[in-house]
Amino acid sequence: MENASKTALVEAQVEDRIGYITLNRPERRNALSYALVSQLKEVFSAWQGDPAVRVVVLRAKGPVFCSGADIEYLQKLQDYTLQENLADSLHLMELYLMMYRYPKPIIAQVEGPALAGGAGLVTVCDLVVATPQATIGYPEARIGFLPAMVTYFLLRRVGEGWARQLLITAEPIGAEEAHRMGLFNYVVSAEEVANFTKELAMRLVTQTSPTSQEFIRKLIADLQDMPLKEGLEFAAKMNAHARATEDFRRGIAAFLKKEKISW
């Protein structure tokens, strides 16, 4: 692997213009802590403007993708003041927002349970490749808590009906049901999931324009909150900006010449 670096809680490496972020806390079920969230934000920030990274794959070591907040961490939160809890919540919110508005596609490779905050990480990714053993759930209501921030993204991903079922019952669901709801895009055997995810990422790297990917993600993030006319005007402006980019010139030239373009 090239450009490899390692931290205590997160491993980050780049290969073939794919950035791999691996949660590296298997002994604690890759539970979220303030430090782990900080390290995720650092890696995403470092790669945001790096042309050597075109697509990001988020995965995890061990049998659990992410079990949500660390138990010891939750115990400490009970003694926090309102302002301290707000600051802590904003820390995770910033990660979710960074991922949702990231200029590059993010693929989650989920091979085990993704629960609570871990389900939030999956929900804000663009594409999700899961194994049949993977599960996802938002169990916060079982402990008197609520999945506050992830609700915003879950509503956008699967709609109100499925979101109500997932959040109100607080019951985890299996890979096939998550696929049916639209939470998981692909369900692939454990033996094939790594190669499948890499091949999917490579197709995005080589067959799609990085500028187009950035503009598409901005359209998806921004359009849904706009009234019809404002949204269409925004889309028209984005269209005009896209036509002025070098990627557009290259793509049109290759299309007219019937040449294959490699991005």
Arithmetic mean of pLDDT, 211-237? 94
Arithmetic mean of pLDDT, 73-97? 77
| 106 close to 56: Cβ distance less than 8 angstroms | yes
Q: Alpha-carbon distance 157 to 125, whole Å?
A: 10
Q: Alpha-carbon distance 9 to 26, whole Å?
A: 9
Domains of the chain: residue spans and CATH: 2-206 (3.90.226.10), 208-256 (no CATH)
Predicted confidence at residue 262, as pLDDT, reads 83
Predicted confidence at residue 54, as pLDDT, reads 98
Which amino acid, one-letter code, is at 88? D
Predicted confidence at residue 24, as pLDDT, reads 97
Predicted confidence at residue 75, as pLDDT, reads 64
3-state helix, strand, coil in the chain (%, to 5): 55, 15, 30
Q: Alpha-carbon distance 184 to 182, whole Å?
A: 5
Arithmetic mean of pLDDT, 98-117? 97
Tell me which of 129 and 263 has the higher pLDDT: 129
Predicted confidence at residue 148, as pLDDT, reads 87
* Catalytic site residue from 15, 27, 140, 192: 140
Arithmetic mean of pLDDT, 224-229? 93
Q: Alpha-carbon distance 13 to 5, whole Å?
A: 6
Model pLDDT for residues 164-196, shown as the tens digit of each residue: 999 999 999 999 999 999 999 999 999 999 999
Arithmetic mean of pLDDT, 228-235? 94
Predicted confidence at residue 81, as pLDDT, reads 73
Query: Is there a catalytic annotation at residue 94?
Result: no
The least confident of 33-47, 70-84, 94-108, 142-156 is: 70-84
Predicted confidence at residue 70, as pLDDT, reads 78
